[in-house]
């Protein structure tokens, strides 16, 4: 008898050696330089332990539902980006039969530093209504010039925005500034749906309890995304990071469609009367407005 | 009924649904001149114009349509985004049906990157025919029964997008935007699997992307899946919608 779990090829512990070898190949070919303190083997062992605990939405073990290919890709992506799940730089999520490795904001900072070795630090701050806060746009990039905060300004209901600053070896500092509305818009896209359609943060959610921390994570992610997405295709780390993000996005959309599509049945009410009937008037009315707003009129 | 296609792509969308002497205009995203020509300058038979959302390729002639005395129906969000106002403008809440001559129309929300997009379920009272119109949506929350004609977007093939990204001719954000706003062949097929019944006579595929679709393959795969006569809406096409084609 063939059990259900045999229908797809499942990942085995021995497959991890193949991944380690592949990473070593990248290193030997000069395509990849991992941080000196990063051991792909150790990261892989941590991931393996973590995968034993990872379950899908129906609480089935990830390693019993995910395809061998998806686990291989998730772990290879993790190792090439020098990520360690023990350091909470990434975590694993199951979408259908696919295992995905998702970077945390720690992980994104780490990868940004890998793809641009001139980066020495990345930090974020929340801006409150009573803060003195100024920034300039220099060569199309935001540069925070002043941020003075008093302790009494720090009140969760007075957040007006947040910024992340990337500090380079030569002392340059570039920032990414987001208004609170922009941050909430980003949260609306999140799978956790911490913000409703009207822009209210869900009471009791992590975003509600630790709003400033979450704002800082969001703006750091945005700043790092820019560094990662603008890195050269020659950088294998950047390429893997971008591919992983694209696959994750695709899996999220597929999941959303599976969850929401073709659900509630609707139909015409055939018992309708003519009370709501629209009238037609064959007489054209005089023009009251300009013909079209995309017509410049000259 | 007869369906005249004036446009069905990001260059402009407009369809005329005719039943006897009555007509419904679905979308007005082509020039007013083209709409007048499509109606053979006989505007008085148009009971209403239904607009799905505010993007110009679906709405650009809304003002002229209203000025010509045609009632426009759309969601409150679409009207606000278009910035239009007129006694000819009827904003209708979702899932609240209205009647236009021989037609009963049920607007339902769809999923697109705009204010408040609608699809429309259209029922012809005198013949009992039911037509679904849904475009610019990456999935549809609702499901339907007894659809005779299904006009649905089939914008791109997922594997074509993937290949373009891999060869570097398409940027990832553009791919993501398409995935989150337009119906792919794969998801369109899932939709049709749920909604095609023995009542279904015709499937009309709308809004195919210029670069990321493959009309022949889409028609073939959907015909194979559903067994229903399927064709692509192309400008100038006149499609007969008949309950008993035999």
How far apart are alpha carbons A200 and A142 in whole angstroms? 28
- In this complex, do A257 and B194 lie within 8 Å of one another by their Cβ atoms? no
User: In chain A, which residues have their Cβ closer than 8 Å to the Cβ of B191?
Assistant: 261-262
How far apart are alpha carbons A268 and A247 in whole angstroms? 39
Q: Which of A107-111, A145-149, A294-298, B124-128 has the lowest mean pLDDT?
A: A294-298
- In this complex, do B100 and A278 lie within 8 Å of one another by their Cβ atoms? yes
Residues 158-217 (B) with a CB less than 8 A from some CB of A: 165, 168, 172, 175-176, 179-180, 187, 190-191, 194-195
* Residue of B156, B232, B245, B136 lying closest to B200 (CA atoms): B245
Query: Which of B69, B95, B130 lies closest to A284 in CB terms?
Result: B69
Q: With bands split at pLDDT 50, 70 and 90, how would you rate the model's confidence at A154?
A: very high
How do strand B229-232 and strand B202-206 relate by DSSP bridges? parallel
Res A126: pLDDT: 97
Query: Which of A269, A278, A292 lies closest to B48 in CB terms?
Result: A278
Which chain A residue has the Cα nearest residue B47? A280
Residue A286, pLDDT above cutoff 80? no
Q: With bands split at pLDDT 50, 70 and 90, how would you rate the model's confidence at A231?
A: confident
Res B172: pLDDT: 83
Res A234: pLDDT: 77
* B49 backbone dihedrals φ, ψ, rounded to 5°: -120, 125
Give the DSSP letter string of chain B.
Answer: -EEEEEEEETTEEEEEEEETTEEEEE---S-HHHHHHHTTT-GGGEEEEE---SSHHHHTTHHHHHHTT--EEE-HHHHHHHT---TTEEE--TT--EEETTEEEEEEE---SSSS-EEEEEEETTTTEEEEEE-S-S--SEE-SS-SEEEEE--B-HHHHHHHHHHTSS-HHHHHHHHTTS-BHHHHHHHHHHH--TT--EEEEE---TTT--HHHHHHHHHHHH-SEEEE--TT-EEE--S---
- In this complex, do B138 and A280 lie within 8 Å of one another by their Cβ atoms? no
Residue A289, pLDDT above cutoff 80? no
How far apart are alpha carbons A59 and A37 in whole angstroms? 35
- In this complex, do A265 and B145 lie within 8 Å of one another by their Cβ atoms? yes
> How far does A140 lie from chain B, in Å, by closest CA?
20
Write down the domain spans for chain B: 2-240
User: In chain B, which residues have their Cβ closer than 8 Å to the Cβ of A278?
Assistant: 47-48, 71, 73, 90, 98-101
User: In chain A, which residues have their Cβ closer than 8 Å to the Cβ of B139?
Assistant: 256-257, 260-262
Most A-contacting residue of B42, B179, B194, B196 (CB-CB within 10 A), to test interface: B179
| Token pair belonging to A120 | 């020495």
Res B217: pLDDT: 96
Please state which CATH number belongs to domain B2-240. 3.60.15.10
Which chain B residue has the Cα nearest residue A293? B60
Alpha-carbon Rg of chain B, whole angstroms?
17
Q: With bands split at pLDDT 50, 70 and 90, how would you rate the model's confidence at A272?
A: low
User: In chain B, which residues have their Cβ closer than 8 Å to the Cβ of A262?
Assistant: 139-143, 190-191, 194-195
Residue A142, pLDDT above cutoff 50? yes
Q: With bands split at pLDDT 50, 70 and 90, how would you rate the model's confidence at A198?
A: confident
- In this complex, do A249 and B176 lie within 8 Å of one another by their Cβ atoms? yes
Query: Which of B95, B138, B190 lies closest to A266 in CB terms?
Result: B95
Q: What is the pLDDT of residues A28-41, one digit of tens each?
A: 998 898 989 999 99
HSE-CB at A111 with a 13 A cutoff on CA atoms is 38
What is the pLDDT averaged over residues A215-228?
A: 94
* Residue of A203, A201, A206 lying closest to A183 (CA atoms): A201
pLDDT in tens, chain B (246 residues): 999 999 999 999 999 999 989 999 999 999 999 999 999 999 999 999 999 999 999 999 999 999 999 999 999 999 999 999 999 999 999 999 999 999 999 999 999 999 999 999 999 999 999 999 999 999 999 999 999 999 999 999 999 998 998 888 888 888 999 999 999 999 999 999 999 999 999 999 999 999 899 999 999 999 999 999 999 999 999 999 999 866
User: In chain B, which residues have their Cβ closer than 8 Å to the Cβ of A270?
Assistant: 104, 123
Res B109: pLDDT: 98
Mean pLDDT taken over chain A: 86
- In this complex, do A280 and B191 lie within 8 Å of one another by their Cβ atoms? no
How many residues can be counted in chain B?
246
How far apart are alpha carbons B243 and B246 in whole angstroms? 9
> Tokens 């194979």 sit at which residue?
B224
How far apart are alpha carbons A247 and B203 in whole angstroms? 31
Residue A282, pLDDT above cutoff 70? no
Burial status of residue A124 (CB atoms within 10 A of its CB: 0-12, 13-18, 19 or more): buried
> How far does B81 lie from chain A, in Å, by closest CA?
12
Residue A5, pLDDT above cutoff 50? no
Any chain A CB within 8 A of the CB of B106?
A: yes
Q: Which of A10-24, A77-91, A119-133 has the lowest mean pLDDT?
A: A10-24
């Amino acid at each position: 008898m063939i059990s259900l779990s045999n229908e797809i090829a499942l990942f085995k512990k021995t497959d991890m050696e193949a991944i380690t070898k592949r990473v070593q190949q990248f290193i030997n070919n000069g395509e990849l330089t991992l941080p000196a303190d990063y051991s792909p083997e150790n990261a892989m062992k941590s991931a393996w332990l973590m995968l034993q605990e990872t379950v899908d939405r129906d609480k089935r073990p990830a390693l019993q539902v995910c395809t061998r290919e998806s686990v291989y890709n998730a772990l290879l992506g993790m190792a090439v980006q020098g990520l360690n799940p023990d350091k909470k730089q990434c975590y694993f999520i199951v979408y259908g039969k696919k295992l995905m490795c998702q970077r945390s904001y720690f992980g994104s900072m780490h990868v940004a530093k890998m793809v641009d070795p001139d980066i020495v630090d990345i930090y974020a701050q929340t801006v409150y209504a009573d803060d003195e806060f100024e920034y300039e746009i220099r060569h199309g990039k935001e540069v925070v010039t002043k941020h003075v905060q008093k302790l009494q300004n720090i009140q969760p209901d007075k957040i007006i925005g947040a910024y992340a600053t990337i500090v380079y070896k030569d002392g340059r500092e570039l920032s990414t500034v987001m208004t609170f509305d922009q941050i909430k818009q980003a949260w609306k896209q999140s799978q956790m749906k911490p913000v409703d359609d009207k822009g209210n943060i869900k009471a009791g959610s992590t975003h509600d309890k630790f709003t400033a921390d979450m704002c800082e994570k969001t703006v750091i992610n945005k700043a790092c995304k820019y560094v990662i997405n603008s890195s050269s295709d020659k950088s294998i780390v950047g390429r893997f990071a971008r591919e992983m993000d694209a696959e994750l996005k695709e899996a999220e959309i597929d999941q959303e469609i599976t969850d929401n599509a073709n659900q509630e049945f609707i139909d015409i009410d055939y018992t309708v009367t003519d009370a709501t009937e629209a009238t037609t008037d064959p007489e054209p009315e005089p023009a009251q407005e300009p013909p079209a707003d995309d017509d410049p009129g000259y | 009924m007869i369906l005249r296609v004036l446009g069905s792509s990001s260059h402009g969308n407009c369809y005329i649904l005719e039943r006897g002497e009555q007509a419904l205009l679905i979308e007005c995203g082509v020039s007013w001149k083209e709409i007048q020509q499509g109606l053979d300058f006989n505007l008085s038979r148009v009971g209403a114009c239904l607009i799905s959302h505010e993007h110009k390729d679906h709405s650009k002639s809304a003002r002229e349509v209203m000025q010509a005395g045609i009632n426009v129906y759309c969601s409150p969000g679409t009207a606000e985004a278009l910035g239009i106002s007129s006694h000819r403008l009827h904003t209708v809440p979702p899932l609240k049906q209205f009647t236009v001559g021989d037609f009963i129309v049920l607007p339902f929300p769809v999923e697109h990157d705009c204010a408040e997009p609608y699809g429309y379920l259209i029922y012809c009272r005198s013949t009992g025919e039911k037509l679904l119109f849904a475009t610019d949506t990456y999935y549809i929350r609702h499901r339907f029964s007894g659809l005779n004609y299904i006009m649905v977007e089939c914008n791109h093939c997922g594997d074509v997008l993937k290949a373009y990204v891999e060869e570097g001719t398409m940027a990832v954000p553009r791919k993501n935007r398409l995935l989150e706003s337009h119906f792919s062949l794969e998801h369109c097929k899932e939709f049709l699997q749920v909604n095609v019944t023995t009542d279904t006579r015709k499937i009309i595929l709308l809004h195919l992307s210029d670069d990321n679709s493959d009309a022949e393959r889409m028609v073939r795969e959907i015909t194979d899946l559903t067994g229903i006569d399927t064709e692509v809406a192309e400008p100038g096409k006149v499609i007969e919608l008949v309950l008993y084609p035999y």
